[in-house]
Amino acid sequence: MTPSTNNRTLLFVTRAPAWERKVKLRQSMKSDVNTSRGGLTQKLGRQSRGAWQMQYSAVLSRSEAAARQVRAREEIRSPLVVPFWTEKALTTTVLDSDAVHIDRLPDYDWFTPGDWVYIVPPAGAAEFREILSVDGDTLFLNSGAEYGSGLAIYPCRFCMRSADGATFETTSEDSVVEPLTYMTL
């Protein structure tokens, strides 16, 4: 069964990429191409948001890898909320209980109502918050902690994890690499 946000509890992914390794982000759009008898063509988009695939690796200690194997099996069977690490924005104002300005105007793929954001403060625990609405460069979020400006904030999308990506590669005596592939739902 394909994971869906309707039939399972959401899992939130917090494993960041090992930036010294490759991070790939690919977008695909479904479209129709119509050709007239006169040879003219017209391309029509069938979806408003692109389908995304993100691939990266995380480097873990052996003890972390043992715990991650259980979580990896859960991730394959459940819908996920995944931060898209390549699309980072910074907050330009204090994040009060429910509103914050970011350093760019959101586009149709990132920072949209109904999606989530992953907020990473310089110290303390990171958190996921749902985007309730967007007005220009202001995001209105469900309530949570207050933070200062200059925070890293990552847009998230609903995804599923590739089933063949739950393998772990031993790279040294005390280090393990976990390749991760996520596709938007």
Residue 77 has pLDDT above 80, yes or no: yes
**Could you give the number of structural domains in the chain?**
1
- pLDDT given at position 118: 95
Give a yes or no: residue 1 inside a domain: no
Q: Is residue 155 part of a domain?
A: yes
pLDDT class for 1, splitting at 50, 70, 90?
very low
Q: Domain for residue 4, yes or no?
A: no
- Domain-embedded: residue 136: yes
Per-residue pLDDT at 2: 47
Please give the residue that has the higher pLDDT: either 11 or 163.
11
Whether 170 is covered by a domain: the verdict is yes
What mean pLDDT, rounded, does the chain reach? 83
How many other C-beta atoms are found inside a 10 Å radius of the C-beta of residue 97? Answer: 10
pLDDT recorded at residue 73: 84
Q: Which domain holds residue 59?
A: 11-33+42-184
Phi and psi of 40, rounded to 5°? Answer: -75, 145
Tell whether 61 is covered by a domain: yes
pLDDT the model gives residue 7: 53
3-state secondary structure of 70: helix
Within-domain flag for 3: no
Could you give the C-alpha distances from 23 to 84, 101, 129, 181, in angstroms and in order?
10, 27, 24, 10
Nearest-angstrom CA–CA distance, 82 and 128:
10
Residue 128 has pLDDT above 90, yes or no: yes
- Tell me what pLDDT residue 48 has: 60
- pTM surpassing 0.75? yes
Distances (CA, A) of 95 to 41, 66, 74, 151: 48, 36, 32, 9
**Percent of the chain's residues with pLDDT above 70:** 88
Is 60 inside any structural domain? yes
Q: What is the pLDDT of residues 11-23, one digit of tens each?
A: 999 988 988 888 8
